Chains A and B, each alone.
Chain A
Amino acid sequence: MRLSQLEVGQSGIVKEFTDLEMSVKLMEMGCLPGEEVRVSRIAPLGDPIAIQVSGYQLSLRKREASTIILQ
């Protein structure tokens, strides 16, 4: 299951990343393996999405969210 496949309100635990470069940035932002992520909302046009992680809201494009694999 990838983060990009979650619906609004669903959550999951980060397991691993498929893109090393993207993962470095995501982990710096507190989105790292073992962390719970929850989709807060999707932008009106379907992309990007906003997720709740490490106690704050982070927005990222669907393509970026698809590099995050959930447990």
Chain B
Amino acid sequence: MDTDIKVALVGNPNTGKSTLFNVLTGLNQKIGNFPGVTVDKKTGICELRDGRNAQIIDLPGTYSLYPKSRDESIVFSVLADRSNPLKPDLVVVILDASNLKRNLLLYTQVADLKVPVIIALNMMDMAQKAEITIDVNAIANKLGVPVVPISARKGEGIDKLKEAIAFANKIPLQENTIDVDVLAPQLIATIGEELHIDNHYFALQLAHQHETLHFLTPEQSERIEELEKEFSFHSQKSQAAETIARYNFINDLLYDTVTKKETAQDQTISNRIDRVLTHKTFGFVLFLGILLFIFQSIFAWSAYPMKLIGDFFVWAQSSLHHVLPSGPLTSLLVDGVMGGLSGVMVFIPQIAILFGFISILEDTGYMSRVTFMMDRIMRKVGLNGKSVVPLIGGFACAVPSIMSTRNIENWKDRMITIMVTPLVTCSARLPVYTLLIALVVPSRNVWWIFNLQGLALTGMYLFSLVSAVTVAYVMKYILKSRERGYFIMELPVYRMPRWKNVGLTMYDRSKAFVLQAGKVIIAVSVILWVLASFAPGDRFKRIEQKYAQSQYTQHMNADDLHRAIASEKLENSYAGMLGHTIEPVIRPLGFDWKIGIALITSFAAREVFVGTMATIYSVDGDAEKMESVQQKMQTAKNPDGSPVFTAAVAFSLMMFYAFAMQCASTVAVVYRETKNWRWPAAQFAYMTVLAYVASFVTFHLLR
């Protein structure tokens, strides 16, 4: 769609910026990435009254133009860099009317960059409730910019805002806020002269941020560094002085434009809610309850849609097999690509549900209270209060949980959370565990009520949490942090969730996962399909010839024959050969080459283990037929006549699945979130080593 003007939304976090973005653009949204960084770029189209289209860019929420996180550093780059294709024609600064003072700091910084700007004064209804009276016209006059009062939640004032966007000037008309020059007069003048920058505040910002700005050449950056030394410029002192000057300006501005009735803060509803939700005991009990509810819902609510998706693909695959002529191309399309696609799609319900809940928790303001309560415990093991939700979400699925780590501003905390989340027992491990536990753990009760099998399963779950926390603790000392850990965080007032935002978040996250992680998963699935369906030379032909002989065709029914062929083909395929090849390596863990095949095929997704076992032991791999797989595995014998699946082997295998990164989706999503192959590679390596060691130890202890 053609766009006539580009409009950037800028504002503090929790000011209703995304709500306004959603109101302005509706479903005309696109999520991309800012070039070179992992920050999501949300853009959308808004149709103005006069028929023109405005492209709206939602910039990350920030308290100041001096970035404290990678997300925030985008804001200055987009606003100031003249060569940036996203450079807006107009900036809409969103201010929370109920907290104008702190919100205005960012406005004064943006205004001094001399880009055309208008103010959207959001949450006017909240301000009225808090008995804050704001003289909107007086503020507009003093600042020299249009100020439009709105309530994004209720959709009030949106038409006025659109009008203001349409009528906005192409040249900046706002008044200067502070005297920037006094902060570093010579430095600003020299940078302006040498780099041809007219705007003094922009020049000053370059002095502060030149090390991290991509649009400066290395020579320019070095020159600025030299100049800073020459004029003995101290970045933090200058920032401190600037902030004080700005707040002086703001206090002057608000002195006769805003009046506030003094109310006892303890009486606000938010405070009363907080007394319960962050209570010493109730707080934790409630939090545990909420987590259990989310965890249960992800399991329970996603089961049906996941089954539908799974069934749909089974149906589509079998009907395509019927329609299309059989051959390698059909098989590639149906078994490889469609198989991979179903592996991607099946995650959508869990992703959508987890993000639905997370978005509700964030929207209401409860998430920051969780962080507040849990920070102390989590900090001890190198994590952050905000790591709690991804870790618990990991019980359902690591993929959405890793996507949800974006809330963690601190880079090191976020990386550690991403690195350890896949250790938590996800739902894909469940079929593997249940199969193996049923195989070797007797189903009898101890202490009357505890079933031994249930205890074993619970043990695996607890064990995964312990290992995640332990690895996090170790990583705390390995990772070098570039940022200093802050916990200076706003606790926003409690609000009702905005259901439209919740819905859009669910949609956005699912879409991002399918489009970006999906590619990798399909690629891996196709590779695995090739390995499992081709064999060197004429091995397959010989197997088919063998089973075409009358001794087989006459004594076996069609299904059994089909399964026997499939089983022998898998053994002779490249995957089977690989299974044989890795046997010497996995022998010390107690695994034979058949288990080796299952390890290889379940690389893309753990639950494939059960299906592969079914194929290898020639039975139907349906969930309902799980018992028959179990029987076959139970009676499986080594060449010397001893049973294959002893307790030692089964537990060793469970340990392997507990630690090994057997999930292409997670690898893909870690890459997507970190934008660097080193992270998924390091994660894969450490998890594989741990898996090997844990299996080895388990096998030799139990043997």
Contact = CB atoms under 8 A, between A and B. Distances in A.
Given A45-B377, A46-B376, A26 B488 contact: yes
Contacts of A21: 236, 484
Contacts of A30: 101-102, 105, 247
Contacts of A28: 63-64, 66, 105, 243
Contact of A61 (B236, B243, B487, B491): B487
A41 B270 CA distance: 13
Nearest to B371: A59
B491 A32 contact: no
A27 B244 contact: yes
Contacts of A3: none
Contacts of B377: 45
Contact of B99 (A22, A25, A45, A55): A55
DSSP class of B's interface residues: helix, strand, loop or mixed?
helix
B280 interface: yes
Q: What class of interface size applies to chain B in its complex with A? A: 35 or more
Contacts of A48: 372, 375-376, 487
Contacts of A33: 244
B488 A64 contact: yes
A7 interface: no
Interface in B230-271: 236-237, 239-240, 243-244, 247, 260, 265, 270-271
B490 interface: yes
Given A25-B68, A44-B278, A58 B284 contact: no
Interface string A37-71: 01011011111101010111111110010000000
A32 B246 CA distance: 11
B701 interface: no
A59 B243 CA distance: 20
B244 A32 contact: yes
Contacts of B284: 44
A24 B487 contact: no
A58 B491 contact: yes
B487 A64 contact: yes
A47 B374 CA distance: 9
B488 to A, nearest CB: 5
Contacts of B63: 28-29
A48 B489 CA distance: 10
A59 B489 CA distance: 5
B243 A27 contact: yes
B167 interface: no
B368 interface: yes
Contacts of A43: 278, 372-373, 375-376
Interface in B274-297: 274-275, 278-281, 283-284
A22 to B, nearest CB: 8
The interface centre, meaning the residue of A28, A58, A60 with most chain B CB atoms within 10 A of its CB, is A28
B274 A41 contact: yes
Interface string B518-538: 000000000000000000000
The interface centre, meaning the residue of B68, B101, B243, B371 with most chain A CB atoms within 10 A of its CB, is B243
Interface in B90-145: 98-99, 101-102, 105
B458 to A, nearest CB: 26
B279 A44 contact: yes
A27 B488 contact: no
A7 B312 CA distance: 61
Contacts of B270: 57
Contacts of A23: 240
The interface centre, meaning the residue of B236, B260, B275, B489 with most chain A CB atoms within 10 A of its CB, is B489
B486 interface: yes
Contacts of B99: 54-56
B487 A59 contact: yes
A38 B262 CA distance: 15
Given A24-B240, A54-B101, A54-B102, A44 B283 contact: yes
Contact of B491 (A26, A27, A59): A59
Contacts of A27: 240, 243-244, 247
B541 to A, nearest CB: 68
A5 B622 CA distance: 63
20 contacts: A28-B64, A29-B102, A30-B105, A40-B265, A40-B271, A41-B275, A43-B372, A43-B375, A44-B283, A44-B284, A48-B375, A50-B372, A50-B491, A52-B265, A54-B102, A57-B490, A57-B492, A58-B490, A59-B487, A60-B489
Given A43-B278, A60-B488, 18 more contacts: A20-B237, A22-B488, A24-B236, A24-B243, A27-B247, A29-B490, A30-B102, A33-B244, A40-B265, A40-B274, A43-B372, A44-B281, A48-B372, A50-B274, A50-B491, A55-B260, A58-B489, A64-B486
Top 8 A-B pairs ranked by shortest CB distance? Answer: A30-B102, A57-B491, A45-B376, A27-B243, A44-B280, A28-B64, A61-B487, A24-B239
